[in-house]
Structure 1
Amino acid sequence: MEALYQQVYQSIKADITNGKFQVGDRIPSEKELSEKFQVSRITSKKALELLMNEGYVYRQRGRGTFVADSSTNQIKQSPDVKKPLFGLIITSLDGSFGNDLVTSLTEDTDEEFFVILKISLGLPDKEEQMMQELIELGVDGMIVAPAHSEHYSSEILKMVVNKFPLVLIDRSIKGIGVTSVSTDNQEAAQTGVNYLFDIGHQHIAVLMPSNFETTTIEDRIAGIVHAYAEKNVMVDKSLWHADIHSTLPYPLASKEEDIESIKKHIQKHPEITAIFALEYNIALLAKKAIEELDLKVPDDISIICFDSPPFNDLELNFSHLKQDEKELGKKTIKRLMDMYKGDLQIKKDEISATLVKGETTRALTQEGQ
């Protein structure tokens, strides 16, 4: 059975080819088509885009959609054909990760399009509302960093079912086929743990945010576990700490509360020699907690994390796994433009991160172990 948007497309195409709509005639709008065929605006929009891509119609901003004269290639000659408008929904903008990504998405490309940026703060209800608003604005595609990996919104499901151009960035959603672009988080985390193993660390604490129900964090955890398995070393999850709340896009605790929590965890486990913070801002909290315990980084406890913003003379250069934000942005735009032009294949891209050795890790001597 044909998809709904294809049924709408075939109906309008037939009206054009049999002469019901003549060259230059205005055809029904997205809203009018959705009411006539009892389908969503996404479906009618997709049908019109397919007609436009095949040269049957052209659009004029503020006026509507009109039947094109294929003999004169009117769709290409029309100066008023609009550039695609894309929606971009991310959880937050952060100096450690996000700023370069957004720059790449909006500037580092030769394609001509417009982008509307919205920040969801990782709140599912807010995310869904933003999707609805962007659809009502008539966006031609969407890039979303979803708040959760399992509890996806009905709006995402609608876009998938209607084959609306959609790319998930930085994470994916379980159990749903949708194009995504992210860091290879499992590979990166495995690299980080192997580095700590190589310089003599065995008692490694893993610090993570309390909302670890995203594929980003889940994949990093999987990478850590895989690294232990390859070394035939038992994972000691008593050293892990998943009670960090202040680094969430919508903080649920103060930084001071999280620092105290980390201090208590370190005091409870004096055998810890290294900390793997799954986010940069958690690494900052860990460093502060260590210092408040009158210990030193990396002399007493080493720290490695994901990402680290540009350094200045007052900050340590953290050892970290550097995500390639520019490549993530470029690949995401390419995938979205491909979908906008009709390539609806589901693709999953994972970009490798790079290990950067900084000042926050040191090799353990035999005595230091």
Structure 2
Amino acid sequence: MTTERASSKSSSDSKQGSRTPLYRQIKEYVRNQIEQSVWLANDKIPSENEMAGQFKVSRITIKNALQELIEEGLIYRIQGKGTFVAQDKLGEPPVYRPEKRQGDLTVAFLMPRIDNRFTANLLHGIENQLADEGFNLLFRTTGDSQETEKELLNQIVRSGFNGIIIYPAQGQSYNEEILKLTLNEFPVVVVDRYLRGVETNYVCSDNVTGAFEATEHCYRMGHRRIGFISTHVEGTSSIEDRLTGYEKALSENGILIDRYLRLTDLESKEVNRILQDGASDSASKERIVQYLERNPELTAVIAVNSSVGLTVMEAAKQLSRRVPEDLSVVFLDDYELSAFSAIPPTFVNQEEYTVGREAVKLLVSVMSNPKQKRRKIVVPTRLVVRASSSARPEE
């Protein structure tokens, strides 16, 4: 497996790219060549491979552009010989038979749920890049259930779709169906979570570096007792990587890793209520309150995500510990409208929009060549410093 780092261009830059999908640009190029009589009736046009090289896109993007022109009657294809310009619109109808297609313009995307900014931006990136490539999107949620995930995967494969992007349900093992599809060379790309030791095509944020930079930010502000709070670590690679980055930053700055400063077994479904319902789960908040009471010397906390971060801030408020004067809190992702909250949080931008676009690019590449070596693409993150972190309080 090869590991690659995606461009560090931010998601906002990505969104400002071309508004015209790539396949439509190519479609218009071919149409113009014909309308301007550069290519005449019955002329053979460049092959899909030649145009893919010319425009530096995948063959599938070219295929999608040409297929629409075939259906419009502007060109026709002869099996084994190539693609040709049809008779002009004033002449006889072209003699061609459109290829039967079943699902080859639709890609499926499965994810546990769409309930926060991260998942919404991830979906948005996938949707936009698929449109650029000329594909439709089938989107389904699994409710973070491996059983539902398995059923949906089987339905999608039976329906004849050409590719799947999947954000796996949380667990200590991949769904067997994902492994079967990978072994059978079915085009699959995994996003955000991956299973160590299993070679699949996947795209993720650089969670290790993101957590490292968040922790080092606290260290540079004078903090030495820095905690880490998360939902269950085991079986979720993104959380495991964030914990690794946190511990790496402590070690490289000469701070002993204190296991008692870690709280890593909150229930994700419970703690997520703060974003869904506007109120934290009482059990999760109470556990964080107890954690803060056990560690009065703590001056900074790295929260694995925005749900945990908001619950930490509520727990601190209950104990009359001010953020950031008494306790700095850094979120390892962001939430909708966070900039307008009473205390806008310092956070790590996971660049999830870019993760979505890169996942589609990788899937299209795999669809063009299913036997290619499996690839891991890591998207750089970015620390955004705001009001929830400050210098260590005076003792």
Bin the TM-score by the shorter chain.
0.7 to 0.9
Deviation at 1:68, TM superposition (A): 5.8
Q: Give the one of 271, 279, 283 matched to 1:257.
A: 283
Residue in 1 that maps onto 2:115: 94
Counterpart of 2:320 in structure 1 is 294
Unmatched 5+ stretches in structure 2? 1-58, 64-69, 72-76, 87-95, 274-279
Per-residue CA deviation, residues 195-232 of structure 1 (Å, 9 max, x unaligned), is 11000111111100025421101111111111122112
The reply to whether residue 73 of structure 1 matches residue 83 of structure 2 is yes
User: Contact 1:148–1:173 at 8 Å: present in 2 too?
Assistant: no
| Counterpart position of 2:374 | 346
Count of aligned positions: 307
Deviation at 1:115, TM superposition (A): 1.4
- In the TM superposition, what are the counterparts of 1:217-236 in structure 2 within 5 Å? 217-236=239-258
Using the size of structure 1 for normalisation, the TM-score is: 0.76
Q: TM-score if structure 2 supplies the norm length?
A: 0.71
Which of residues 262, 267, 274 is equivalent to 1:240? 262
Say whether 1:117 aligns with 2:127. Answer: no
Q: Is residue 141 from structure 1 mapped to residue 169 from structure 2 by the alignment?
A: no
3-state SS of the aligned residue for 2:118? coil
**C-alpha separation between the residues in 1 aligned to 2:309 and 2:391?**
19
Does structure 1 residue 336 correspond to structure 2 residue 363? yes
- Counterparts of 2:375 and 2:202 in 1: how far apart (Å)? 7
Query: For 2:320 and 2:329, how far apart are their aligned partners in 1?
Result: 16
For residues 339-362 of structure 1, give each alpha carbon's deviation from its aligned partner in whole angstroms, at most 9, with x where no partner exists: 111253211010111000011001
Instruction: Within 5 Å, give how 1:1-369 maps onto structure 2.
Output: 69-73=79-83, 82=101, 83-108=104-129, 109-148=131-170, 150-210=172-232, 212-247=234-269, 255-309=281-335, 310-311=337-338, 313-342=340-369, 344-365=372-393, 368-369=394-395
Shift in alpha-carbon separation, 1:248–1:177, aligned structure 2, 3 A: farther
Q: Percent identity?
A: 23
User: Residues 211 and 190 of structure 1: is their aligned pair in 2 closer, same or farther, counting only changes over 3 Å?
Assistant: closer
RMSD of aligned C-alpha atoms?
3.0
- Give, in angstroms, the shift of residue 241 of structure 1: 0.8
Structure 1 counterpart of 2:254, which letter?
A: N
Amino acid at match of 2:216: N
C-alpha deviation, 1:265, in angstroms: 0.9
Structure 1 stretches lacking a partner, 5+ long: 1-48, 54-59, 62-66
Which deviations, in whole Å up to 9, do the C-alpha atoms of 1:31-72 show, x marking residues without a partner? xxxxxxxxxxxxxxxxxx99xx8xxxxxx99xxxxx962235
Ranked by relative contact order (alpha carbons within 8 Å, sequence separation 6 or more), the top structure is 2
**Match in the other structure for 2:26:** none
